[in-house]
Amino acid sequence: MTDFAAWMQACQSHMESVLAACLPPAHIAPQRLHEAMRYAVLGGGKRVRPLLAFAAGEVAGADPARVQHAAAAVELLHAYSLVHDDMPAMDDDALRRGKPTVHVEFDEATALLVGDALQSLAFEVLAAQPLADDPAVQLRMVHLLAQAAGSRGMAGGQAIDLASVGKPLDLAELEYMHIHKTGALIRASVLLGAHCGTADDDTLGALDHYAKCIGLAFQVVDDVLDAEASTATLGKTAGKDAANNKPTYVSLLGAARARELAQELRADAHAALDRLDDSAGRLRQLADFVVERVF
C-alpha cells in the first residue's frame, strides 16, 4: 500500500481531471452558466467524498474506472449544496475554498442555476455509462443518491439547520441534523463506491456503520475548526457558527469534549471495519485523516 498522503494526492488530482471532463466546457452555450459551474466545482476542496468512494471501492474490489464516476456524481451534488448554502437566503457567505462564493463572483440568479444544473449533472454522470455489472444495481445507486440528496437527506438536514438558528438544540437533535445534512452524502459516497464492485450484505452493513461514524466525526471536527481556526486557514469564514448563534458540538460540549467525541467516533469507525481484511486499509486511514485535522 502506497503512502496515504501520496494516495490521497493522486486521488484528488485524478478527480480534478474526472470532474473537469464531466463538466460542460466553458465555451459551450450557455457560457456564463458553464463557466460558473466549473468555478464552483474545480480547483478546490479536499474531495473527501470521492476519497471515501475510492476507499470503499477497494473493499468491494471495484474497478476505479467505474468508481470515479460514482465519486464525481457525489462530489457534484456536494458542490451544488455548497453553492446554494452560501446564497444570501441561506448562510449568506462570501468566501468558500479561499475564493469568492458563486453568487458573489457571478450573481444570485447564476448561483441558483449553477446549483440546479450541478444536481442534474450528478444524476447524468451516474447514469451515463455502466458502473455496475447489473444495471439494476446501478438503478439502486441512482435511488440511493437521490434519497441522500433529498428532503429526508441533505436538503432536509439543511432545512433543520435553518430552523435551528437561535434555538437550543440538545445533542440528540444536533446529531439528527448532521446525520441528514452531511451524513447522508458521506454514507452515499461509501455505499456507491462499494456498489461499483461486489459486497455482501454484512460488508455493506459494516461500511454503512463506518460511514455513519465518519460523517459525524467529520462534523464534530468541522465545528472545532470553525471555533478555533482562522479564516485564512479554513478558506471559508471562521467563527460563523457562533456569530449566527448556531448550535454546534463545541457550543454544546465545549472544545475539549468535542475533541474526545471525535476520537470516540474514530474508534467506532475502526471497530466497524474489524471484520474486514486489509482491503479496508484506506478506509481506516481516512478515519484517522478526518479526525487528525484537529490534533
Q: By the criterion CB under 8 A, which residues form the site for its own copies?
A: 24, 28-30, 32-34, 37, 80-81, 84, 87, 89-90, 107-113, 115-117, 119-124, 126-128, 134-136, 138-140, 142-143, 145-147, 149-153, 155-156, 158-160, 162-163
CB of 30 or CB of 254, closer to its own copies: 30
What residues contact residue 275 under an 8 Å CB cut-off, 6+ apart? 202, 206
CB of 160 or CB of 229, closer to its own copies: 160
CB of 65 or CB of 162, closer to its own copies: 162
What is the rounded distance in angstroms from the CA atom of residue 34 to the CA atom of residue 27? 8
CB of 10 or CB of 128, closer to its own copies: 128
The least distance separating its own copies from the CB of residue 2, rounded to whole angstroms, comes to 34
The least distance separating its own copies from the CB of residue 167, rounded to whole angstroms, comes to 13
Its sign, for the CA torsion 12, 14, 17, 18, is negative
The least distance separating its own copies from the CB of residue 188, rounded to whole angstroms, comes to 11
The least distance separating its own copies from the CB of residue 130, rounded to whole angstroms, comes to 8
CB of 37 or CB of 220, closer to its own copies: 37
The least distance separating its own copies from the CB of residue 157, rounded to whole angstroms, comes to 8
The least distance separating its own copies from the CB of residue 168, rounded to whole angstroms, comes to 17
Strand partners, 96: 99
Strand partners, 100: 95
CB burial of 151-181 (b: ≥16 within 10 Å; e: otherwise) equals: eebbbbbbebbeebeeeebeeeebbebbbbb
The least distance separating its own copies from the CB of residue 81, rounded to whole angstroms, comes to 8
Contact 216, 91 (CB under 8 A): no
CB of 145 or CB of 217, closer to its own copies: 145
CB of 113 or CB of 196, closer to its own copies: 113
